Amino acid sequence: RGTHQRGPFRLQSCMPMSRSATAEPENVASAMEVASAGAPPTRSPWRILAPPVQDLDYLPPDDVVDQDLQCCVCLGWPEDPVVLGCPGGHMLCRRCVTGQLCPLDRQPFARLSAPQRPILTLLGRLRVRCPEAVRGCQWTGPRSNLQEHRAMCPHAEHECAHCGLRLRPSDRG
């Protein structure tokens, strides 16, 4: 059986798979690197369980969604925004796109494209509270920094990519 090691403790958890058998998810917490004594650090099997952007607590004045930028399906700030290739060029969350008809004008679209960089920058600057505020986290900051914060947040839940074990860093000690 494999062990997960973090600091002075070890967690018995799973049979590690070879690197070629598993693809490292993008959201693996690099701050949660695993290292054995004398060995070089390796990527941790722990990945962050992040809530959808729509579930985030936005801070004033960003708690009011700009009607020109809102997703026309969920009416929130767009998560992973895409622009439809319909005549109106509407922007929505990638997960709100279903089928090949625009939900606003009911016109077919053949492609999805990324929004312009200034729009992505604006969305990244929106001020949010850490989703773990209910557990005591005091962090607030730009939405674009949230994933980096969650990698180090002692209140955020992480999941082992090998066995599915779920823990918070504060529970590992």
pLDDT at 16: 43
| Spans in the chain with pLDDT lower than 70 | 1-54, 170-173
pLDDT tens readout for residues 43-76: 666 666 665 555 788 999 999 999 989 998 999 9
Q: Which of 131, 160, 129, 164 is nearest to 5 (CA)?
A: 160
pLDDT tens readout for residues 120-134: 999 999 999 998 898
Tally helices (H) and strands (E) across the chain. Answer: 2, 11
pLDDT at 171: 67
pLDDT at 101: 92
Rounded CA Rg of the chain: 20
What is the pTM (predicted TM-score) of this model?
0.64
Residues 76, 54 contacting (CB under 8 angstroms): yes
3-state secondary structure of 28: strand
